[in-house]
């Protein structure tokens, strides 16, 4: 079996908050407990959503918490040539086609799937001239795509009826997250993806792309998404930002949320060392979301 390679892939849309800290801590611990590598990738493929200064702040916060990464930081904005090659590969196999449908036209088709409206394949046979601005969609395979998530168990999805052919290259010229993440993980040799369950429904799309591109499928672990009052923590829900002086209390709260034993207050490095010795993914609650105040029975203050 290949040696463990993990990663943390934050989008630089703001500073870390509790939800993204949980992703950093879970992926770091899983990698370190396995004696593996842990890479940091800044997911700025969606350039218009990038917030100036956010990347720097994320890096400084991780450093201050002792969440050290291996190798150079990967930035998606420097990787578009690789995404283009993957897109060409899909095209050559007849697995991608251009689409000029508007949001409105798609919305009017009206069938809801796991992630918005299921694209009905309108442009599958449309001949759209090369010079004309258009999105590119991946022709999804028929039949279910299943995988065994380390926390969520067996997940199965039919892309044709639940998602439809999805966009891999946007009309505005940007590559879609689904394509970028698959190419990036493969280039890093990632063996284990550890991330929030908000991406569980994206995973079958990513597996389908891996298969089409001849890439290996990593193992997946999706921990519950942190919610407050039923809403995912995010900048929009005003989740408090965790700056470089967030401190070890934030790490303890993340461990409690992940159902792990929580070491007594100590410097961050000691908390991480102890947590990686005791890391037990079987204790992560097998749920898609979890209120920040629940923490698997461990009560902890979340005045972060």
Q: Which residues are at the interface with ligand GLU (CB under 6 A)?
A: 9-11, 43, 181, 195, 199
- Residue closer to ligand GLU, measured from CB, 192 or 263: 192
- Residue closer to ligand GLU, measured from CB, 210 or 298: 210
Q: Among 15, 31, 28, 18, which residue's Cα sits nearest to residue 250?
A: 18
Structure-block tokens of residue 224 = 């519950």
- Residue closer to ligand GLU, measured from CB, 195 or 205: 195
Tally Cβ neighbours within 10 Å of residue 3.
Answer: 10
Give min distance, CB of 49 to ligand GLU, in A: 10
Give min distance, CB of 9 to ligand GLU, in A: 4
Q: What are phi and psi of 99, to 5 degrees?
A: -140, 135
Give min distance, CB of 203 to ligand GLU, in A: 9
- Residue closer to ligand GLU, measured from CB, 181 or 226: 181
- Residue closer to ligand GLU, measured from CB, 140 or 225: 225
Burial class (CB in 10 A: 0-12, 13-18, 19+), 282: exposed
Give min distance, CB of 262 to ligand GLU, in A: 25
- Residue closer to ligand GLU, measured from CB, 97 or 147: 147
Q: Which residues have a Cβ under 8 Å from the Cβ of 102 and sit 6 or more positions away? A: none
Q: Please report, to the nearest 10 degrees, the dihedral formed by the alpha carbons of residues 10, 286, 212, 111 taken in order.
A: -90
Give min distance, CB of 112 to ligand GLU, in A: 22
- Residue closer to ligand GLU, measured from CB, 45 or 99: 45
Give min distance, CB of 242 to ligand GLU, in A: 14
Give min distance, CB of 302 to ligand GLU, in A: 20
């Amino acid at each position: 079996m290949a040696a463990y390679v993990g990663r943390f892939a934050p989008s630089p849309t703001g500073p870390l908050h509790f939800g993204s800290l949980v992703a950093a801590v879970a992926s770091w611990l899983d990698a370190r407990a396995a004696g593996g590598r842990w890479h940091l990738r800044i997911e700025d493929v969606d350039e218009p959503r990038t917030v100036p200064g956010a990347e720097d702040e994320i890096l400084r916060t991780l450093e201050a918490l002792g969440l050290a990464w291996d190798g150079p930081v990967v930035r998606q904005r420097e990787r578009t040539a690789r995404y283009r090659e993957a897109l060409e590969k899909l095209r050559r196999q007849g697995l991608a086609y251009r689409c000029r449908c508007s949001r409105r036209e798609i919305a009017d088709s009206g069938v809801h799937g796991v992630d918005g409206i299921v694209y009905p394949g309108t442009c599958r046979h449309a001949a759209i001239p090369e010079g004309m601005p258009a999105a590119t969609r991946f022709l999804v395979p028929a039949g279910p795509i299943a995988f065994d998530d380390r926390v969520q168990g067996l997940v199965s999805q039919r892309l044709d009826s639940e998602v439809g052919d999805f966009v891999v290259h946007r009309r505005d010229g940007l590559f879609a997250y689904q394509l970028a993440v698959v190419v990036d993980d493969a280039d890093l040799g990632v063996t284990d993806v550890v991330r929030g369950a908000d991406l569980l429904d994206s995973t079958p799309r990513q597996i389908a792309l891996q298969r089409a591109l001849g890439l290996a499928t990593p193992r997946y672990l999706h921990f519950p998404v942190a919610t407050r009052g039923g809403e995912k923590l995010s900048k929009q829900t005003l989740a408090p930002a965790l700056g470089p002086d967030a401190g070890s209390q934030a790490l303890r709260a993340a461990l409690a949320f992940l159902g792990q034993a929580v070491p007594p207050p100590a410097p961050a490095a000691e908390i991480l060392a102890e947590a990686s010795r005791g890391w037990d993914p079987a204790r992560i609650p097998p749920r898609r979301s979890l209120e920040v105040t629940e923490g698997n029975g461990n009560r902890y203050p979340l005045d972060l």
